[in-house]
């Protein structure tokens, strides 16, 4: 009897731990796509966030691209693919909903933003489909979620040296 009670308590404790772990790990894991918080690169004078996405709903891990915001060009957020090392489009923060994204042609995508002439950006249209679909349906047609918040002045710098410890 005592042995059965011990097994039952152990089972209940295990289930409780699994439940807590599952609910804590849900975080963004239930989402198909999301943006991280903004960070600031003072040496280059821009902010960036990571855009995390799953190419298909059944993917178990996230891929990511960077979104770059330059205070000198406050109207736009530029999307950068770190794996292909190229900018591939931009979001117009002042555009009308449904007409905010300019997707660059493959031949106009460059590693440095300065190498992309303004004329290469087409008129803004709808947000493109989530990148890198492998299911042949452009990631089931779900578009990228537009950025809804721009960085604040207090975004954490990421390339400052660590403070010395006392």
Among 154, 127, 151, residue whose Cα is nearest residue 141: 127
Query: pLDDT class for 12, splitting at 50, 70, 90?
Result: very low
Q: Is the pLDDT of residue 26 over 50?
A: no
Q: Tens of pLDDT along 40-80? A: 999 999 999 999 998 888 889 999 999 999 999 999 999 99
Q: What mean pLDDT comes out for the span 120-141?
A: 77
Structure tokens at 11: 């089972």
Q: pLDDT value at position 25?
A: 32
Global pTM reads 0.72
CB-CB contact of 16 with 134 (8 Å): no
Q: CA-to-CA distance for 85 and 110, rounded, in angstroms? A: 8
Q: Is the pLDDT of residue 114 over 90?
A: yes
């Amino acid at each position: 009897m005592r042995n059965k009670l011990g097994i039952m308590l152990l089972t209940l404790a295990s289930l409780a731990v699994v439940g807590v772990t599952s609910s804590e790990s849900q975080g963004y894991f239930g989402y198909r796509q999301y943006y991280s918080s903004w960070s600031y690169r003072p040496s280059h004078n821009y902010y960036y966030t990571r855009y995390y996405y799953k190419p298909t709903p059944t993917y178990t891990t996230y891929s990511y691209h960077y979104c770059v915001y330059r205070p000198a060009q406050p109207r736009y957020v530029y999307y950068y693919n770190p794996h292909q090392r190229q900018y591939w489009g931009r979001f117009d923060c002042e555009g009308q909903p449904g007409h905010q994204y300019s997707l660059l042609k493959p031949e106009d995508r460059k590693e440095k933003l300065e190498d992309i002439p303004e004329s290469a950006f087409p008129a803004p249209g709808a947000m493109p489909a989530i990148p890198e679909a492998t299911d042949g349906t452009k990631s089931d047609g779900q578009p990228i979620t537009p950025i809804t918040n721009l960085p604040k002045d207090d975004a954490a710098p990421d390339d400052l040296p660590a403070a010395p410890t006392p």
